[in-house]
């Protein structure tokens, strides 16, 4: 009986201990969980804030770097932003070929509708596509014409003040002060060159050509003599046909010869800006032209007085021709300048 009593007392003591332990566990466990949750919340809020600030700072840096990557004295950065045009990463391209081929692919252009000649004067790198196919050059013919006339001036046959008689048959519709004002009996060679190159005045160019060479075929023969190149099709003498190769030869001849510096100066002032000069707003001495389905541009890019490259693009019925000419010159310009160490990314 006494043994059973001891067992009963031990059972009561064990029960009390068990109950005390359970009460302690029930009170302490929630306290630990709350503390952990509070610690997690305190730590996570600053982490979230830190990530947001980091992302914001990174975005701002990217935008700043993008702005700094383009020299606003050379590029029309505001127009690029307006049209959603971003600067390229020149390191993504191994050559000009990749830049041109990318534009042809992206715009869905049929290569047969395009003729291109590119010449990097810094390393003599070249790119050609259908360069010997002859197109109506539109107003680009005015560049070699002016150079040919300057040769006559420099040789003493004429002076810049020499008067060229005007005939009614020389009148051509288009832009420019001569075509759109009362016609005069004669014009100086300087005025005719200026108007034909800066404002693309068709009457000025035609007066210059016909007044000096007498007839169209003679002016075409003089052009071949000027370039010392005679491999042309029979219809060359019938219209202002040029190949990209012939135009490039013209620019190669005049690019750094002081005898033609006047032409480069006038081309650098060509108005209005379009095509090659849509986004490359300075340094580009270019002559563009449009006729029916043809959209053409050509020119030399200069920096610090040095010719950097020449580019000629002739198109006939090409899809998105304006965009193709604008973007091709813009991207080539960025790439060549980067390769030469001229941009702000070096």
Least confident of 10-24, 68-82, 119-133: 10-24
Going by pLDDT thresholds of 50, 70 and 90, the confidence category of residue 69 is confident
User: Is pLDDT of 271 > 50?
Assistant: yes
pLDDT on residue 263: 98
Query: Tokens 């990530």 map to which residue?
Result: 51
For 103-142, give one letter per residue: b (16+ CB within 10 A) or e.
Answer: bbeeeebeeebbbbbbbbbeeeeebbbbbebbbbbbbbbb
On the question of pLDDT at 88 being above 80, the answer is yes
The structure's pTM equals 0.80
* Predicted pLDDT at 68: 53
CB 280 within 8 A of CB 73: no
Q: Is the pLDDT of residue 51 over 90?
A: no
Is residue 183 within 8 A of residue 166, CB to CB? The reply is: yes
Structure tokens, 212: 């000096």
Cα–Cα–Cα angle for 26, 30, 33, rounded to 5 degrees: 145
Residues contacting residue 201 through CB under 8 Å, at least 6 positions apart: 174, 175, 176, 177, 178, 179, 195
Element of type H or E holding 289: strand 284-291
**Mean pLDDT along residues 46-58:** 38
* Residue 201: Cβ-neighbour burial (10 angstroms; 0-12, 13-18, 19+): buried
Task: Check whether 249 has a pLDDT greater than 60.
Answer: yes
The confidence score (pLDDT) of residue 345 equals: 66
* Both tokens assigned to 180: 């759109």
Q: Is the predicted pLDDT of residue 240 greater than 80, yes or no? A: yes
Beta-bridge partner residues of 75: 280
**Residue 155 CB neighbours (<10 A):** 9
Tell me which DSSP letter residue 86 carries.
P
Q: Is the pLDDT of residue 237 over 90?
A: yes
Confidence band of 11 (pLDDT split at 50, 70, 90): very low
What does the pLDDT average to over 106-119? 98
Average pLDDT over residues 235-262: 97
pLDDT value at 41 more than 70: no
pLDDT at 242 over 70: yes
Say what the pLDDT of residue 37 is.
35
What number is the average pLDDT over the span 197-209?
98
Q: Where is pLDDT greater, at 79 or 62? A: 79
> Is the previous residue joined to 272 through a cis bond, with omega within 30 degrees of 0?
yes
Q: What is the pLDDT of residue 343?
A: 86
């Amino acid at each position: 009986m006494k043994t059973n009593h001891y067992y009963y007392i031990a059972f009561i003591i064990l029960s009390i201990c068990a109950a005390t332990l359970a009460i302690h566990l029930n009170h302490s466990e929630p306290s630990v969980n709350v503390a952990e949750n509070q610690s997690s919340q305190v730590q996570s809020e600053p982490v979230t804030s830190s990530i947001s600030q980091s992302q914001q700072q990174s975005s701002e840096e990217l935008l700043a770097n993008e702005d700094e990557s383009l020299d606003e004295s050379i590029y029309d950065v505001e127009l690029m932003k307006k049209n959603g045009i971003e600067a390229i990463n020149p390191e993504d391209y191994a050559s000009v070929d990749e830049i041109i081929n990318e534009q042809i692919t992206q715009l869905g252009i049929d290569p047969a509708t395009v003729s291109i000649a590119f010449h990097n004067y810094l390393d003599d790198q070249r790119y050609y596509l259908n360069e010997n196919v002859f197109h109506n050059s539109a107003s680009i013919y005015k560049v070699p014409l002016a150079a040919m006339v300057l040769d006559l001036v420099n040789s003493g046959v004429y002076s810049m003040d020499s008067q060229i008689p005007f005939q009614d048959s020389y009148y051509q519709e288009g832009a420019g002060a001569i075509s759109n004002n009362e016609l005069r009996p004669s014009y100086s060679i300087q005025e005719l060159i200026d108007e034909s190159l800066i404002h693309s005045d068709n009457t000025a160019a035609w007066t210059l050509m016909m007044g000096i060479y007498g007839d169209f075929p003679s002016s075409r023969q003089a052009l071949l003599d000027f370039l010392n190149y005679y491999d042309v099709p029979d219809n060359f003498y019938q219209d202002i046909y040029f190949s990209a190769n012939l135009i490039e030869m013209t620019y190669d001849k005049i690019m750094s010869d002081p005898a033609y510096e006047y032409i480069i100066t006038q081309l650098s002032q060509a108005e209005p800006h379009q095509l090659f000069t849509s986004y490359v707003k300075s340094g580009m001495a270019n002559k563009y032209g449009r006729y029916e389905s043809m959209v053409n541009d050509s020119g030399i890019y200069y920096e610090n007085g040095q010719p950097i490259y020449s580019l000629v693009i002739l198109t006939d019925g090409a899809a998105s021709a304006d965009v193709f000419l604008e973007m091709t010159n813009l991207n080539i310009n960025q790439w060549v300048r980067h390769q030469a160490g001229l941009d702000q990314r070096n």
